[in-house]
Amino acid sequence: METLVVERLAQFVNNGELDARMIKVESEHSACSAAFGAQAAGVRAFSATNSQGLALMNEILYIMSGARLPAVFGIVNRAMSSPINIWCDHSDTMGCRDTGWIQLYCESAQEILDTTLQAFRIGEHKDVLLPVMVCFDGFILSHLYEPVYIPTRTEVKPFVGKYRPHVKLDPDKPVTMGPVGMPDSYMEFKKQQAEAMEAAKKVIKDVDREFKRRYGRGYGGLVEKVNIPAKTIIIALGSVCGTIKEVIKKHKNIGLLRIRSFRPFPEKEVKKACAKAENICVIDRAFSFGNHGPIFTEVNSALRNCNATITGFIAGLGGRDITPDDIENVIKNADEGGTLWLDVFGKGVSR
Amino acid sequence: MAFVKFRYGRKNVISGSDACAIGAQLAGVKVIAAYPITPQK
């Protein structure tokens, strides 16, 4: 599915519409390694992948974020095998949420384009210098055709700007990149990485604000709020938020908090948005075996001092549709607490 | 942009995958590293 992204880029290169080098490799591990090398040499590098391919990149994902190389990858969210499944869920990116990459989740094709542009500004910001995953739902968004405003290169140029790497591999100015971090220095590297991820929160908000000022489209920075404050708040990410927005139009006192940035996690924004809510419903399109859904766990942590009932809903795994009826079931079971599974074994809701 | 299915006012009707690729193109990426092998002349 990511093939469509890189196929299109291959066409651009072939047609002379993009002055770039396509590096074709034998695995995603190599693709990530090649992107690492290119970024280290001082140019903007890009790749796209998903599912098992992203899992195969895993080793290099850590290396790239640790080396503070701000590449941007498009991730077409898909389920993990087995059983073999090529359809949408978020198991792939949730499985690498601790790799040190920024993760931004999109709801529409327009947001994918705009977020890809924003991602370069965010990752390359001097206070951040971290790689970014632009995540979007497999098939539901990757194959869906929608009207999208495509800016011209002239329009985009002043926003994205020229890439000026903070450090690069240059034989005339030799540097050491990727050295051993001994026990007396490794923790300092990781602390700086943690601080960069924290700093990214402000940068994501600022970049989105600037984007809105320039182009008239903004996405709320870290989170998008719809009808908040409300008695019941549904928290989710990705394309399902479009369905939720439609369903909550029919209800009073139900809001949506769409998490746009899962890493860094918008703890402060979640706390603020949910301060007056009685019920919080968290929809996860992934499951952390032996625990709960990943977003549910994060939200529980953010709202540890809150009196609201928090209920997690596992839904839409392996491409199963999350329908308006499913969202109605979420609303009906908003005060259950714990984790419930939606639409599994023929039951609307089960524990 | 031969892949554009049709236009809708000032907008082009494209897929989410196209949108991602166009974002990377507009940002001026210099290297695209990819598997599986993509068709290229």
Domain of A204? Answer: 2-215
A35 to chain B, any CB pair closer than 8 A? The answer is: yes
By C-alpha distance, which of A59, A17, A28 is closest to B29?
Answer: A17
A86 to chain B, any CB pair closer than 8 A? The answer is: no
Q: How confident is the model at residue B41 (pLDDT cuts 50, 70, 90)?
A: very low
State the Cα–Cα distance between residues A308 and A302, nearest whole angstrom: 12
Mutation target for A interface from B8, B20, B25, B38: give the one with most A CBs within 10 A: B20
Pairing of strands A254-259, A223-226: antiparallel
State the Cα–Cα distance between residues A208 and A202, nearest whole angstrom: 10
Cα distances (angstroms) measured from residue A33 to each of A36, A47, A58, A248, B31: 5, 11, 11, 44, 12
Q: Give the list of residues 6+ apart from residue B9 with CB closer than 8 angstroms, or none.
A: A147
Residues A301 and A208 in one domain: no
- Mean pLDDT, rounded, for A284-295: 98
Asked if A119 and B30 count as a contact pair (C-beta separation under 8 A), the reply is no
Q: How confident is the model at residue A212 (pLDDT cuts 50, 70, 90)?
A: very high
Residues A164 and A208 in one domain: yes
Position A88 pLDDT exceeds 50: yes
Residues A285 and A231 in one domain: yes
Nearest CA in chain A to B3: A8
Mutation target for B interface from A1, A14, A18: give the one with most B CBs within 10 A: A18
Beta-bridge mates of residue B31: A21, A45
Q: Find the CATH number of the domain harbouring A288.
A: 3.40.50.920
Q: Which of A180, A215, A250 finishes a domain?
A: A215
- Mean pLDDT, rounded, for A131-135: 98
Beta-bridge mates of residue A102: A132
Residues A286 and A269 in one domain: yes
**pTM, full prediction:** 0.97
By C-alpha distance, which of A106, A48, A64 is closest to A259?
Answer: A106
Nearest CA in chain A to B29: A44
Cα distances (angstroms) measured from residue A264 to each of A223, A284, A301: 11, 17, 14
- Name the H helices within A221-266: 240-248
Please report, rounded to a whole number, the percentage of residues in chain A having pLDDT higher than 90: 96
Tell me the average pLDDT of chain A. 96
* Interchain CB distance below 8 Å, A145 and B24: no
Each residue of B8-35: pLDDT tens digit? 777 899 999 999 999 999 999 999 999 8
Asked if A109 and A141 count as a contact pair (C-beta separation under 8 A), the reply is yes
Which structure tokens are listed for A184? 């007396």
Residues A200 and A243 in one domain: no
Asked if A224 and A126 count as a contact pair (C-beta separation under 8 A), the reply is no
Q: Which of A181, A199, A215 finishes a domain?
A: A215
Q: Any idea which residue has 């182009």 for tokens?
A: A215
Beta-bridge mates of residue A342: A349
Q: How confident is the model at residue B38 (pLDDT cuts 50, 70, 90)?
A: low
Each residue of A325-338: pLDDT tens digit? 999 999 999 999 99
Peptide bond into A264 cis (omega under 30): yes
Q: Which of A176, A191, A215 finishes a domain?
A: A215
Residues A164 and A306 in one domain: no
